[in-house]
């Protein structure tokens, strides 16, 4: 197990899930591993009756997570919607891990996703040899989730062509999947539901039909409310990355995280934190997820090519890479920010110098 690059949530947090089960006092819906209250505790963290500490996975509004979990107990599916990097996939994985003990029933939606990726496919060698038969049928994660009473995950649902999306309608409303070739059907057992994610920034997305929309309850995941909240998210994620990657670097100082998060927030909001200077926003989204990547990158730089302590010079390239996505427009925006804000801020001279050297 130790050589696996990334464990599934249910593997990584196995101990927490077991403790939650032991301390269960709520009503556990059919085929769920935990009660809805315990699923929320797993996501947001908290202390159990026996004193065990559950770590927070999602940092943000409790009510949103409660709505998401409650939805999954009903006959409607859950759509997690929002800007890139707002933890939609992350929340979806952890919900599936806590509810079904299995976050792997996943379909990645792309423009090329066909019906057979959602319904079922055929093993062509067997199909030619035997004709349509149970043995020749290739079950999709959605079909398996229906049979096993688990949560299926569909990533980036809006990238899937509209007619393919609509194959979900029968599955979600009738809870069945007809297999006309075998003159049969697969009926979902209790515990089955779907979590889809979609972001509202990508080009070339296909709106959900209103028939399909009605079968989903949409929960919008927002950007973090405050600087402090965002710093907290970045800090926790970077610390867990550091553990897995075993980098020869020290934990980043909170001050460095604060600077990166501040730069991202100010550019994203188009105004400095003190409200005094208006800024132009670059074309990228500059999400929390990107701030996390910049810090991780900085750790690798400091660990392998620096003295193990993360400094401005280790972060500069990452910050510029995240901000300047369009080499012309974004570069102008960045230079303006550098000269009007970064240059004049107390204790930011090192960042200013490192960035100037690179651009
Ligand atoms: N509020 C938050 N709480 C905890 N982690 C967060 C939060 N916001 C972002 N993250 C972190 O950001 C990273 C990226 O999130 P994720 O990949 O789930 O984004 P996404 O919304 O699915 O983006 P995309 O639309 O690009 O698929 C994750 O590692 C997650 O831990
Ligand atoms: Mg995602």
**β-strand partners of 74:** none
pLDDT in tens, 161-202: 999 999 999 999 999 999 999 999 999 999 999 999 998 877
Distance in angstroms (rounded) separating the CA atoms of residues 150 and 270: 43
Distance in angstroms (rounded) separating the CA atoms of residues 26 and 39: 11
CA of 23 to the centre of ligand 2 (A): 31
pLDDT in tens, 226-252: 999 999 999 999 988 887 778 888 887
Task: Note the maximum CA span of the chain.
Answer: 75
pLDDT band at 293 (very low <50, low <70, confident <90, very high): very high
- Looking at residue 290, its pLDDT comes to 94
Q: Give, as residue ranges, everything with CB less than 5 Å from ion ligand 2.
A: 89
- Looking at residue 248, its pLDDT comes to 83
CA of 58 to the centre of ligand 1 (A): 9
What's the count of helices (H) and strands (E) in the chain, helices before strands?
17, 11
CA of 154 to the centre of ligand 2 (A): 10
Nearest CA to ligand 1 atom 4: 58
Find out whether 219 and 67 touch, Cβ atoms under 8 Å: yes
Best substitution site from 12, 45, 64, 87 to test ligand 1's pocket, by max atoms within 8 Å of Cβ?
87
pTM over 0.85: yes
Would the CB of 199 count as within 6 Å of ligand 1?
Answer: yes
CA of 233 to the centre of ligand 1 (A): 10
pLDDT band at 205 (very low <50, low <70, confident <90, very high): confident
- Looking at residue 249, its pLDDT comes to 82
- Which one of the ligands is nearest to 293 CA? 1
Compute φ and ψ for 78, nearest 5 degrees: -115, 130
- Which one of the ligands is nearest to 226 CA? 1
pLDDT in tens, 299-323: 999 999 999 999 999 999 999 999 9
204 pLDDT more than 80: no
């Amino acid at each position: 197990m130790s050589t696996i690059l990334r464990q599934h949530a249910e593997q990584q947090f196995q101990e927490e899930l077991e403790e939650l089960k032991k301390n269960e006092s709520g009503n556990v819906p059919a085929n769920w591993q935990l009660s809805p209250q315990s699923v929320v505790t797993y996501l947001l963290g908290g202390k159990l009756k026996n004193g065990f500490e559950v770590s927070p996975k999602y940092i943000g509004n409790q009510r949103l997570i409660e709505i998401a979990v409650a939805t999954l107990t009903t006959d409607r599916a859950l759509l997690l919607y929002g800007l890139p990097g707002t933890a939609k996939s992350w929340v979806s994985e952890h919900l599936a891990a806590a509810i079904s003990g299995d976050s792997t029933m996943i379909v990645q939606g792309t423009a090329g996703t066909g019906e057979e990726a959602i319904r079922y496919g055929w093993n062509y060698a067997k199909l030619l040899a035997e004709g349509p038969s149970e043995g020749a049928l290739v079950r999709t994660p959605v079909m398996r989730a229906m049979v096993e009473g688990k949560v299926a995950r569909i990533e980036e649902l809006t990238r899937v062509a509209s007619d393919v999306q609509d194959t979900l309608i029968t599955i979600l409303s009738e809870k069945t999947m007809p297999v006309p070739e075998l003159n049969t059907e697969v009926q979902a057992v209790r515990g089955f539901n779907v979590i889809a994610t979609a972001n509202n920034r990508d080009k070339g997305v296909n709106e959900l039909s209103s028939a399909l929309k009605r079968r989903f309850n949409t929960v919008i995941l927002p950007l973090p409310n405050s600087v402090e909240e965002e710093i907290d998210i970045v800090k926790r994620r970077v610390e867990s990355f550091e553990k897995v990657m075993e980098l020869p670097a020290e934990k980043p100082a909170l001050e460095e995280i604060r600077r990166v998060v501040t730069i991202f927030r100010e550019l994203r909001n188009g105004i400095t934190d003190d409200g005094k200077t208006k800024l132009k926003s670059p074309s990228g989204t500059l999400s929390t997820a990107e701030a996390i990547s910049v810090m991780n990158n900085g750790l690798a730089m400091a660990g392998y090519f620096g003295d193990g302590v993360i400094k401005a010079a280790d972060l500069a390239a990452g910050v510029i890479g995240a901000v300047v996505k369009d080499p012309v427009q974004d570069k102008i925006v960045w230079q303006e920010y550098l000269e009007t804000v970064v240059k004049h801020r107390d204790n930011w001279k090192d960042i200013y110098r490192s960035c100037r050297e690179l651009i």
